[in-house]
Structure 1
Amino acid sequence: MDLLKAGEHRFLQLHELDELRLGDYDNSMLYKERTIVWHDKKLRRKDFKARDKVFLFLSKFKIKQPKLTSRWIGPYVIKQVYPSGYIKLFKQNGGSFIVNGRRLKLYHEEEAVEGVQFEELPLFDLEE
């Protein structure tokens, strides 16, 4: 048994473990960077313009919302978009107010379809 050779062998094993650990750390950093890029690509950007119609998220009932009420109110019309992400909205009564752009979503108006008739389905009687 040579203690110097055993010590040198143990020293090399420790360095090899350290190199493996550093390699794993580099791989995990690459994985995180790729995941962040993928996540940012999947995010939907909200690009609002003046005169767009939007719904406003009603955050007052975030914890306990009354039954059968919508969390979105509106539609409102955008008056001005600020570079910081804040948006100025028109009220129905002529006033305006500023909100965070994250609380908004676009309002898509229903298109009028001409020449299409809808049939009413008969309701079934439970007594039959």
Structure 2
Amino acid sequence: MDEFRLHAYESVDAAAIKPRHFHEGQLVLLYNSRLKLFPGKLKSRWWGPYVVHKVYPYGAVDIRDQKSDSIWKVNGQRLKAYVGVESGMEARELATLVDPKV
């Protein structure tokens, strides 16, 4: 029995159940599990970004929609950190085009 328990404990890493730590004010994306019913190759399964409103023990997280100010309690395993341009900031890059005939 102990060997079976040890094997199950070691296989948790293979199942991608890893602790995720979020803090208040962080931008996150929410996994849309309902998209499986209507599959689409180019549709993203991640919605957001949302703002973390409150973090509870054992993985529950309150997220706030920036547009409607509504708050939802979701499982932290359905969230991932948003890596992108924060709201209000735009990333711009200056590109100079050169005529190839010159």
| TM tier relative to shorter chain | 0.5 to 0.7
CA distance in 2, matches of 1:113, 1:95: 28
Show the counterpart of 1:97.
72
Per the alignment, residue 33 of structure 1 pairs with 6
Whole-Å separation in 2 of the counterparts to 1:78 and 1:103: 13
Residue 26 of structure 2: aligned partner: 52
Task: Measure the CA separation in 2 of the matches of 1:35 and 1:66.
Answer: 34
Shift of residue 108 of structure 1? 1.3
Q: How high is the sequence identity, in percent, across the aligned residues?
A: 31
Shift of 1:35: 7.5
Which protein is richer in strand relative to its size?
A: 2
Identify the structure with bigger relative contact order (alpha carbons < 8 Å, sequence gap 6+): 2
Q: Which runs of 5+ in 1 are unaligned?
A: 1-25, 121-128
In 1, the alpha carbon distance for the partners of 2:31 and 2:52 equals 15
Counterpart position of 2:100:
none
Indicate the structure with greater helix content. 1
Q: Which runs of 5+ in 2 are unaligned?
A: 98-102
Larger Rg: 1
TM-score (structure 1 length as normaliser): 0.55
CA RMSD in angstroms, aligned pairs only: 3.4
Q: TM-score, normalised by structure 2?
A: 0.67
Deviations 1:79-104 (A, max 9, x none): 00111311111112112111111110
Aligned length: 92
